[in-house]
Structure 1
Amino acid sequence: MTDVLLVEDDPLLREATQLSLERYGYQVRTASDGLTGLAQFRDKAPDVAVLDVMLPHFDGVSLVRRIREASRVPVLMVSARTDPVDVVLGLEAGADDYLTKPYDMPVLVARIRSALRRANDFAEADTQAQKDESLLRFGDLTVDTASMEVRREGRLVDLTPTERKLVLEFADQPGVVLSRTTLLERVWDYAWGGDSRVVDVHMQRLRAKIGRDRIETVRGFGYKLLAGPPPERL
């Protein structure tokens, strides 16, 4: 069974969410504060973590930072606060996605499934043996489409599964502008649309890792990978 770590300080919401997720077939461990959540995570890493932003003792943003120091486990953050600063802080800390309270349980489950798919794609690619015609080079950036490894100047770039999926989308269509809506659909599986801040913050993190000169922001449209000459297969 898929193991979910749910860290939520509201006892009624915590219990209701746990029961609902268990009905969907998930195994759910819970914590009521950030310190307990961190201890649970360190005791056994879950398949996915759902964290509230406002937590006693140790807030959700600090918690996701600690998680990211040791793991690429998918992290969804939830919050009753809609202030863009809170959203950006959570995503910049390393969260893969966020939801605003109140949320419908089918939406939370859909987000969990999407995050798990990205993580599973990443894990399966890491075990692939085939390498033929899987390497693409864009200047000093090399993308291995089989293993999903990304290297810059020969050095492996440490990316989350979501960031790797973004790179693959751009590498598949170098020089083509990909809109925020397109990226939400292809990377986050948002068939119903979503908050473009998720895309913008992840793009900031990705550009900082692979080089800001590699991805161009096309104002009013989206982003594109600056391929330079046609991609060279290695």
Structure 2
Amino acid sequence: MPTILVVEDQEDIQALLKDVLGGTYRVVQARTGAQALTRFQEEEPDLVLLDLMLPVVTGDSVLKAIRRRSSVPVVVLTAVQDKTRTVALLDQGANDYVTKPFDIDELRARVQVQLRQSGAIVVGKDAAELPDPKVSFEGIELDRMEHTVSVDGHQVDLARKEFAILELLMDHPHQVFAKEALYREVWNQPYINAENTLNVHLSTLRTSLNRYAGDQRYIVSIWGIGVRLV
């Protein structure tokens, strides 16, 4: 049974979320940012529901601390409806957000989507059919569980989105991905005014991989079509 860490300082919302999710998932709770980080380390949850408006150690700080050590899905609970603020949260590493007051069915659906995408729950598949946690290609080694990448034995530090791009390309070696498709797969958002964002991440990823690749160039652009791993 997947474990969900609910970080919320309001007792009535905590009780509601435990009641709504408790029948399907194992729910552990934290009411402060400091307690959240302790419970996260102890419980190793499959997903975090994170309220932003926490006392002392804010939700933003908790999100940053989680992202330094893990790629576990984080769904933010926020009363703020500012789109700029929401985009900033997603850039900082949140996977999704739900605006308070939230619809119970929508919350359940968003939680389930994130758990499916992370592999914590599998619909219509046996656990044995899950992707191999480790994948390799021409000297690149990627470990999904440890969230690490190496090139010819050299550790390469990648940001979360760069890791996700490489993971997708390595799962489909030699396949050409249109930039629109690549962005939709990694960001789970429509490809609107996103070319610069994608290009920056691709450039950084190429630089990181090529540092230890000698003459090899792993990610190439196919003019007018997209990019692929070679």
Q: Report TM bin, short chain.
A: 0.5 to 0.7
Residue of structure 2 in register with 1:219 after alignment: none
The aligned length equals 203
Question: How far does the alpha carbon of each residue in 1:61-115 deviate from its partner, in whole angstroms, 9 at most, with x for none?
Answer: 1101111122221111110101134313322322122121222222222222222
Equivalent residues of 1:33, 1:58 under 8 A apart: yes
1:226 Cα deviation after fit? 6.6
1:227 aligns with 2:221: yes
1:39 aligns with 2:38: yes
Question: How far does the alpha carbon of each residue in 1:191-233 deviate from its partner, in whole angstroms, 9 at most, with x for none?
Answer: xxx7889x89985984574269xxxxxxxxxxxx971478464
Residue of structure 1 in register with 2:17 after alignment: 17
Return 46-55 or 166-175, whichever deviates more. 166-175
Q: How does 1:140-219 map to 2 (within 5 A)?
A: 156-160=156-160, 164-167=163-166, 174=176, 176-178=178-180, 183=184, 186=185, 203=198, 206-207=201-202, 209-210=204-205
Equivalent residues of 1:91, 1:202 under 8 A apart: no
The alignment's TM-score, normalised by the length of structure 1, stands at 0.65
Residue of structure 1 in register with 2:100 after alignment: 101
Question: Is there any run of 5+ residues in structure 1 with no aligned partner, and where?
Answer: 137-141, 213-224
The alignment's TM-score, normalised by the length of structure 2, stands at 0.66
- The one-letter code matched in structure 2 to 1:7 is V
Equivalent residues of 1:152, 1:210 under 8 A apart: no
- The one-letter code matched in structure 2 to 1:6 is V
Residue of structure 2 in register with 1:139 after alignment: none
SS at match of 1:227: strand
Q: In 2 relative to 1, CA 150–91 (structure 1 residues): closer, same or farther, beyond 3 Å?
A: same
Equivalent residues of 2:169, 2:228 under 8 A apart: no
Higher relative contact order (CA 8 A, sep 6+): 1
Equivalent residues of 1:92, 1:205 under 8 A apart: no
Question: Is there any run of 5+ residues in structure 2 with no aligned partner, and where?
Answer: 121-129, 208-218
